[in-house]
Structure 1
Amino acid sequence: MDLDAYLDAHRAEWNRLDDLVRTRNLTGAESDELLDLYQRAATHLSVIRSTSPDAQTVEYLSTLVARARFRATGSRPLSWAVVATYLTRTLPAGLYRLRWWWVPILIGSVVAMTVVVVWSLNHPNTMTWLNNRYGQKYVDSSFADYYSSHQAQYFAFNVWTNNFRLALLAIAFGVFFFPVVWVLYENVLSVAQIAALMIGNGKADVFFGLILPHGMLELTCLFVASGMGLKLFWTWVAPGHRSRGRALAEEGRTVISVGIGLVGLLLICGVIEAFVTPSPLPTFARVGIGLAAWLGFLAYVFVLGRKAFLDGATGDLEDQSDRGTEAPVAA
């Protein structure tokens, strides 16, 4: 096919379609014309892709067709089927696909916390500094009182909003790398210092009894968010055969999808921290609830997520047409 001749023959139709897409209020006749031109442009795109896949032309038509499709059909209404697909395929598959980014962060952070705690306990000057910084009142009562000093529902809301703010900060600024490292550093060091302080003062049972019920899942969510942020950074650094814009768009859709799921998971953490952590239940029961929530998350990722991933889900939009049409690339 003579691509230049084909472009000259249909360019006027594409320009007209572009004008209609940009028009705010369409008449009935213009709406019919838009739909007709959209269908023609989709056919033209298919012909060009199969015969003379010029990258620039395909990219232009893909964008035009996607915009026209949205204008012609409108947004897809939310249904329980969409929600079910998201919860059973999109979210767990996205978490599973990104596991090599957040699992090493989880393991590395736990190791780092352990090293800081052991080092602090074996250095009297560090323990003296921690005791002076926090004070004996914090060890004796303030640490435990923090979890029951406010009404549970308000405390849960405040914890939830603070945690997903940190998570979204790690994701949103992940492309710049250093904000993610800073969020991780601040949280790992803070938990490790308080652990060393409490353990060094003979309050290990209080510390673990109050941290573990919500902390296992809560910190895991932070590590997931940090892993997604670093994934965005690496996508920007090494996009592969894709343009940086296209690579960030593709990974960004998955990150947004998983990020929405993290908001829900952190809500669960907030509820546990407000209602379970300070409850009069025995320590083993409170820790057991937290452990069950954490193991449930891991099963969600590595059982349901793995199954969905092997079935073709990636965490990106399920409908290929919603992603737009990709330009051809060299092998």
Structure 2
Amino acid sequence: MANPAPIAYSTAAFRREREADWQAFEQLVQRLESGSIRRLSDDDLLALPRHYRATLSSLSLARSTSLDVALIDYLESLAMRGYFLLYGIRESRSHRFVQFFRTSWPAAVRALWKETLVIALLLVLGVAVSWSLVAHDPEWFHRLVGEDMAQGRVPGASVATLRDTVYGEPKGGGLHIFAASLFTHNSQVSITAYALGFAFGLPSMFLLMYQGLPLGSMMAVFHQAGLGLDFAAWLSIHGTTELYAAILSGAAGLKIGSAFAFPGHRSRMTAAAEAGKATGAVMIGVIIMLLCAGLLEGFGRQLIQSMTLRFAIGGTLLAFWLSYFYIPRNRLAQQAGPA
């Protein structure tokens, strides 16, 4: 059985011979990690790669000679920190924030254009089917729209009652409470549509089509009362953002489901994981859109009573989202790609 004393002696001698390089490298690494790169002299910058190579050499020798584990762990940690400082992409939080809005989010949305079109068509189909059903038989309304959502906007309601629902203040608390509840509800629906996408995308498609059923039912009721344009204006001020966000969440879920169903040469889990990573930026943006929609729905559509102004705001927002996502960026932005 080997005597442990020589190993301890070898480790001590190893440290005496090489530790000065490690300490010098660690000091430089700490200065760089603290953001003080401008304080490094030219000699320090020239010494940085030399100390890094010396640390890697020491790590390789320590592993091959089976020195103590604590020393190997220390050298591995130091080498890893140095690697990211020398070869990693170092970007500030503010730069990543700007890059997300400038390139990452729009690029991720453009990559989902096929899935976005499919989900949008399904939503329109849900609206058209429910409108037709309620227009021919008002009893369908109660099967498609819950009482909590209806809030008096039902077939047979007076024109005055229906008008008050699109021009009066919401019931059940102040506007800030109303906006918060709308944001919470819409976020839950969108996240659910995305999270269930792994089931071959079917729940995402059905959920977005289902979202169109109460909308079409409401449109039929207001149209029959001669308030179709009033309802459309009331809806457009926030709906162009909210429905677009819902469509994008469904498209992201469908992307994951498609990758899971047709993985190609990859495993299903790998394909789904890659699709999830690619659509992550879309879902971050969806939450931002829903926050904007919640504020518009909770405050804007109640405080703004002009039908023309409501249409103008909704149309402007729709034009903004379409141009933001689909108009090509300048060459520099495209070369930068997703962050």
- TM-score of the superposed pair, with normalisation by structure 2: 0.66
Q: Secondary structure at the match of 1:278?
A: helix
1:32 to 75, 79, 86: 75
- 8 Å contact 1:180–1:229 — kept in the other structure? yes
Equivalent residue, structure 2, for 1:104? 118
RCO higher in structure (CA 8 A, sep ≥6): 1
Q: Deviations over 1:212-233 (max 9, x none)?
A: 1111221111111111101100
- Label 1:216 to 1:306 Cα distance change in 2 as closer, same or farther (>3 A): farther
Distance 2:278 2:133 in 1: 39
Distance in 1 between the 2:211 and 2:202 partners? 14
Aligned match of 2:335 in 311, 318, 328?
Answer: 311
- In the alignment, does 2:283 pair up with 1:259? yes
Distance in 1 between residues matched to 2:238 and 2:244, nearest whole Å: 10
Select 1:114's aligned residue among 128, 133, 142.
128
Identity %: 22
The code of the aligned residue for 1:218 comes to E
Structure 2 partner of 1:82: 96
**2:166 is the alignment partner of 1:144:** yes
Is the alpha carbon distance of 1:297 and 1:27 closer, same or farther for their aligned partners in structure 2, counting shifts above 3 Å?
farther
> Which SS does the other structure have where 1:277 is aligned?
helix
Q: Using a 3 Å threshold, how does the CA distance of structure 1 residues 276 and 190 change in structure 2: closer, same or farther?
A: same
5 Å matches for 1:256-295?
256-295=280-319
Deviation at 1:108, TM superposition (A): 4.0
Aligned to 1:228: 252
Q: State the alpha-carbon separation in 2 of the partners of residues 146 and 282 from structure 1.
A: 12
| RMSD between superposed Cα atoms in Å | 3.8
**Is the contact between residue 91 and residue 258 of structure 1 (CA under 8 Å) also seen in structure 2?**
yes
Which residue of structure 2 lines up, in the alignment, with residue 155 of structure 1?
A: 178
Partner in structure 1 of residue 243 of structure 2: 219
Structure 2 residues not aligned, in runs of 5+: 1-58, 146-153
Letter in 2 for 1:113: V
**Whose radius of gyration is greater, 1 or 2?**
2
1:202 alignment counterpart: 226
Structure-1-length-normalised TM-score:
0.68
Question: What is the letter of the counterpart of residue 83 of structure 1?
Answer: F
Match of 1:94 in 2: 108
Change (3 A) 1:117 1:135: closer
- Deviation per residue, 1:265-294 (Å, 9 max, x gap): 111111111121112441111121111111
Counterpart contact for 1:95–1:301, Cα < 8 Å? yes
Q: 1:250 to 1:135 in 2, by over 3 A?
A: same
Please list the CA deviations of residues 4-56 of structure 1 after superposition, one character each: whole Å capped at 9, or x if unmatched: xxxxxxxx97xx79xxxxxxxx96763223444x59xxxxxxxxxxxxxxxxx
Query: CA contact under 8 A between 1:93 and 1:305: conserved in structure 2?
Result: no
Q: Distance in 2 between matches of 1:267 and 1:201?
A: 32
Structure 2 counterpart of 1:169: 192
Partner of 2:264, secondary structure, is coil
Answering whether residue 271 of structure 2 is matched by residue 247 of structure 1, we say: yes
Q: Is the 8 A contact 2:241 2:318 kept in 1?
A: yes
| Counterpart AA for 1:97 | A
| Structure 2 partner of 1:21 | none
Q: Which amino acid aligns with 1:33?
A: E
- In the alignment, is the contact (CA less than 8 A) between 2:202 and 2:254 conserved in 1? no
**Is 1:89–1:308's contact at 8 Å kept on the other side of the alignment?**
no
Within a 5 Å distance, the mapping from 1:46-57 to structure 2 comes to none
Counterpart mapping for 1:179-190 below 5 A: 179-190=203-214
Cα pair distance change 1:129/1:111, threshold 3 Å: closer
Find the aligned partners of 1:92 and 1:292 in 2 and give their Cα distance: 18
Letter in 2 for 1:86: F
CA, structure 1 residues 129+301, in 2 after alignment: closer, same or farther (shift >3 Å)? Answer: closer
In structure 2, relative to structure 1, the CA distance for the partners of 1:257 and 1:220 (3 Å cut) is same
